[in-house]
Homo-oligomer: A and B are copies of this chain.
Amino acid sequence: MAYLIPELIRKKRDGESLDDDEIRDFISGVTAGTVADYQIAAMLMAVYLQGLDHRELATWADAMLHSGDVLDLSSIDRVKVDKHSTGGVGDKLSLPLAPAVAACGLAVPMVSGRGLGHTGGTLDKHEAIPGFQVEIETERFVRIVDQVGASIIGQTARIAPADRVLYGMRDVTATVESIPLIASSIMSKKLAEGIDGLVLDVKLGSGAFMKTHERAVELATALKAIGEAAGKRVTAVISAMDEPIGTRVGNALEVEEAIAVLRGEGPADTRQLTTQLGAEMLLCGDACTSPEDGIARIAAVLDDGSALDIFRRMVEAQDGDPRVVDDPRAVLPRGRGRSSVKAPASGTVQSIAADEIGNAALLLGAGRRRKEDRVDPGVGIVIHKQRGDAVEAGEPLVDLIHNDHGVDEARERILAAYDVDLQPINTSTQAASRVLEVLR
C-alpha cells in the first residue's frame, strides 16, 4: 500500500483520522528514510495541532514499537514489570525500585535512553558507579534479569528506530509538547522491553513537563490507552513535582540517596514514593493483594536488606564496584569543591522551586543541554532545608558539590528557588504524599 505522503499529511491537517494502514505506511517510511524530513515535520505539526484519537494513537505507537526490535524475555519465568517517569528533579526512584520490586519476586528489565535534562537519566545515574556497564549484550542483560531479578541496559539503535527519527525532529520543529507524540515516544520504547506490566509516573507541577492537572491526566490517559491496546497491564500515577525529590540532586549524589533508601534509611519523601510506586508495580504483576499490602512488602524488603542485596548483585553483574553498597562516599565520584548557599533571612521554607534547583544542577554540569554533552557524575546539590523546615539567617540551605564551573550562577538559581518566609507552614500539607492520583 503506497499512500501518497502529502495526502496523509492533508488528512491529518484537516482533522481527519488516519487509517491503520496509513499510519503504518507513514511510520515505516520514516524508518526506511523514504519520507522526507520536511514531510515528517509537516506531519508532526499537523499531529501537534489536530491530535490523534485513541485508535490512531495505539496504532501509531505500535507501528513505532515494531519499527525495531522487541526484546524476547519469554525465557524468564517471573512476571516482568517496569516503571517509567516523565522526569523530575531529584527523581532517582528507579534505582531503589528495581531491586526492591525484584526482591518481592518480580523481574524488572530496564531499557533506558539518555535524553536531555537537568541531571542525567537513570542510565547516567547507574554509570556514576565506577565500572558499571550499561552497554551490554542483550543476552547478558536477559541473563542478569533472570538470575538477579533486575538489570539496566542502554537503548540501542535497534529499539524503536522510528522514534529516534521523530524524537530528533521534534526539538527543532517546536513539536515537543504534544501528548500523542510524547505518549507514543515513551510507550514505543517501554513496550520494546517485552514486559507484562508498567507503572507510569506522570510528574505534575512547576518542576515537571506537565504544568497542569488537565495535561497530566491527558498524558496519563494516553499512555494507559497505548499500553492497554498492546495487551499490557498499565497503571498511571500522577505525582507532585513542585519540590525536588529527596535531598540529593546530581548523578552520584542520587545514587548515594538511593542506597540509603535501600538500607531502610534516606529522606522520608523518597522512601514514601519508593514504597508507593513499588506497590503499584507489585499490583501490576499480581504480587500483592492491595496497595497497602504492596507498600508493606516494599517497606519490608527495604528494611530487611534483601533489596540492597539484589542491588549489590546487579552492580556486580554489570561490572560495577560492589563496595558502593557499603560505603558509597568512598567509591562514588565527587566534585572537588563544596560551597554552601546560606539563607539570607530567617523563617520557614515555604517552597523550593524544583525547576530552579534543576537549573542549578545543570549549571554545575550534572545534566545535558544537548545530546552530545557529557554529564559530570560527581557534581550536584545537597539539600539541607526541605519544604516546611525552619531556617536561621546564615544557615546553609544547600551545599553545591562542584568542579570548575557554574558555582556563581548555580548559587543565584538556588536563592531564586527558595521562598523563606516568617509565616508558619501547614504541616499536614508538608507531610502529604506526593502521589496525587492513581489510574489503575
**Residues of A in contact with B (beta carbons under 8 Å apart):** 5-7, 9-10, 13, 36-42, 44-46, 48-50, 169, 171-175
Q: Contact between A173 and B42 (Cβ–Cβ < 8 Å)?
A: yes
CB-defined contacts of A39 to chain B, threshold 8 Å: 41, 172-173
Q: Contact between B174 and A42 (Cβ–Cβ < 8 Å)?
A: yes
**What are 28 A-B pairs at a CB distance below 8 A?**
A5-B172, A6-B173, A7-B174, A9-B45, A9-B173, A10-B174, A13-B45, A13-B49, A13-B174, A13-B175, A36-B37, A36-B172, A37-B37, A38-B38, A38-B40, A38-B41, A38-B169, A38-B172, A38-B173, A39-B41, A41-B41, A41-B45, A41-B173, A42-B173, A42-B174, A45-B46, A45-B49, A49-B49
Copies of this chain per assembly: 2
How near does chain B come to A48, taking the closest CB pair, in angstroms? Answer: 7
Contacts A13-B48, A37-B37, A48-B13 given: A6-B42 contact, CB under 8 Å? no
Given contacts A6-B173, A41-B42, A42-B42, 9 further A-B contacts (CB under 8 A): A6-B174, A10-B174, A13-B48, A37-B38, A38-B40, A38-B169, A42-B173, A45-B49, A46-B174
CB-defined contacts of A9 to chain B, threshold 8 Å: 45, 173-174
Bound-state Cα–Cα, A40 to B39, Å: 10
CB closest residue in chain B, given A15: B49
Bound-state Cα–Cα, A138 to B421, Å: 74
Bound-state Cα–Cα, A331 to B50, Å: 55
CB closest residue in chain B, given A13: B174
CB-defined contacts of A6 to chain B, threshold 8 Å: 171-174
CB-defined contacts of A172 to chain B, threshold 8 Å: 5-6, 36, 38-39
Bound-state Cα–Cα, A173 to B9, Å: 7
- Of the listed residues A39, A46, A174, the one surrounded by the most CB atoms of chain B closer than 10 A to its CB is A174
Bound-state Cα–Cα, A439 to B38, Å: 37
CB closest residue in chain B, given A7: B174
How near does chain B come to A22, taking the closest CB pair, in angstroms? Answer: 13
CB-defined contacts of A37 to chain B, threshold 8 Å: 36-38, 41
CB-defined contacts of A46 to chain B, threshold 8 Å: 45, 49, 174
Bound-state Cα–Cα, A39 to B38, Å: 7
How near does chain B come to A172, taking the closest CB pair, in angstroms? Answer: 6
CB closest residue in chain B, given A10: B174
